[in-house]
Amino acid sequence: MQVCTIDALLAGGFDGHVECRELLRHGDFGLGTFDRLDGEMVVLDGIVYQIKADGSVTRPDLGLKTPFAAVCRFETTKTLEPDGGIDLKTFEGFLEACIPDRNVFCAIRLDGTFAEMTTRSVPAQDPPYPLLVDVAKKQSVFRFENIRGTIVGFRCPSFVQGINVPGYHLHFISDDRTRGGHILNFRLATGTCRIGLCHRFLLQLPESNRAFQDLDLSKDRSAELQTIER
Ligand SMILES: [Zn+2]
């Protein structure tokens, strides 16, 4: 289940309209952001975590709303043992080779120890909202070493362009639930990767939000997306 579209978020659609409580009715695993773009979301084992721009990690009130999130009920289709030492790019190549099913959604969970993990988070915004690409210029970047934790994310098919992120979108949360964020890069020490393929897609759009209706979602924002995701 997905809340709104990535292009709406890129265009500054930061008003939350679906409660975290509702997200959990549709899945126990996923990622996203929060109302006013207040940090990065990780949903893991049915618990919602909020990683704010100051680096703090909390379990938000489930009444908190999200403008963009994607969740699924994680069911393991395949278990993989990636080599130690690999970075994000190599990991993506590894998954390309192991999971050729590129036209369905693929939930990715990697539990492991990371020699290095680099993440980011974004600060809450006030209306009138800027473009996401401009917020990303003020993102906080966090670098961790020798940290145990879990990668939570998705590989989406190319045809979701405009709706979600084609390719890989990964977030991180540490085992002790005190560190995390949107992954920029990592170097794995050891870990086990579980893959769950998803063949169904539900999109929830805002029901009564004038700001959403006024967003210009006709233009190609893929270049902006490239800038903010990496
Ligand atoms: Zn993200």
pLDDT digits 0-9 by tens, 154-198: 999 999 999 999 999 999 999 999 999 999 999 999 999 999 999
Q: Which residues, 6 or more positions from 136, have their beta carbon under 8 angstroms from its beta carbon?
A: 122, 227, 228
Q: Are 15 and 211 in contact (CB under 8 A)?
A: yes
Distance from Cα 98 to the centre of ligand 1, integer Å:
23
- Quick check: 229 pLDDT over 90? no
Distance from Cα 49 to the centre of ligand 1, integer Å:
13
Residue 218 pLDDT: 95
Distance from Cα 130 to the centre of ligand 1, integer Å:
17
Q: Are 140 and 120 in contact (CB under 8 A)?
A: yes
Q: Are 108 and 170 in contact (CB under 8 A)?
A: yes
Distance from Cα 93 to the centre of ligand 1, integer Å:
20
Grouping H, G, I as helix, E, B as strand and the rest as coil, residue 133 is helix
Bond prior to 157 in cis (omega within 30° of 0): no
Count of all residues that appear for the chain in the document: 230
Distance from Cα 117 to the centre of ligand 1, integer Å:
14
Residue 208 pLDDT: 83
Distance from Cα 210 to the centre of ligand 1, integer Å:
25
Distance from Cα 165 to the centre of ligand 1, integer Å:
9
Nearest of 224, 172, 207 to residue 65 by alpha carbon: 207
pTM for this one?
0.97
